[in-house]
Amino acid sequence: MIVTETLTLPNGVAMPKLGLGTWMIEDDTVAEAVRTAIEIGYRHIDTAQAYQNERGVGEGIRSSGAPREQIFLQTKLAAEAKDYDTAKAAIEGSLATLGVEYIDLMIIHSPQPWMEFAGEDRFYEGNLAAWKALEEAYEAGKIRAIGVSNFQKEDLDNLLQNAKVKPMINQILAHVSNTPFDLIRYTHANGMLVEAYSPIGHGQILNNPVLQEMAAKYGVSVAQISIRYVLQLGLAALPKTKTPAHMKSNAELDFVISEDDMDALKTIEPIKDYGDASMFPVYGGKL
């Protein structure tokens, strides 16, 4: 089962390549979703300070019965934490809210605060300050690995050229019809892994006729072909769902997309609309 397969971070830490995303799952219901995912076999759980559900995620892990060391828990430092003191306090806050002694992976959620996403200011000094707080928590054993999310080449270079500990991963929006190949290549070339969030395009690619036809060819769902696509690119995948049937089917990926079909998927017409998610900055909208 794909949930048992791992990628190896630059520091040797193994990370399950398929994880459960928990964005937009409320704090009072996320514990049940996490427990269900772990029962199905998932061992990688993704959350964030911005999701406001870390408490529930931690509860779900603790009440699942699975040994803590078997769970890869990932969270994200708030995009607005762009100074050392704020970032340090936020890291301690996540540890307390999650109710864990350590976090497996913690990443800066965005190079810019959400209200200034895609603006001219790249917050280089602020990201270095936040990164220093992550480095210290990493060196203290409170975090097993550290990385970033939504970072472009210039944002990565800022850390690669100035940080003591190099970023280990970049979590980015990547799916069929929106795959930033140049950024993926650059991230990989600099020794980092890449995680794909919204590998199903926030559900907005499920009705794509090309994907539907290809999914039918392989006898799988559009969601399954979409997740398999990012995995075959060498990325980790974080499909988000709280529906047990979807959790199960998202992990049933025992098929291989042919090279010709992968090439076809790489050139599908770019998605134009993310539906209700378009209001969020990462999907091209504005707050």
Two structure tokens written together for 247 = 């959790």
Query: Is the distance from CB of 65 to CB of 99 less than 8 angstroms?
Result: no
Determine the distance from the C-alpha atom of residue 147 to the mean position of all C-alpha atoms in its chain, rounded to a whole number: 11
SS3 76: strand
- Sign of the dihedral defined by the CA atoms of residues 156, 159, 164, 165, in that order: negative
Two structure tokens written together for 199 = 């590998």
Q: Is 186 a catalytic residue?
A: no
SS3 80: coil
Q: Which of 51, 138, 197, 229 is catalytic?
A: 51
Alpha carbon separation from 263 to 33, 61, 119, 234, 254 (Å, rounded): 35, 38, 33, 15, 20
Query: Is the distance from CB of 133 to CB of 88 less than 8 angstroms?
Result: yes
Report, as residue numbers or ranges, the catalytic residues.
51
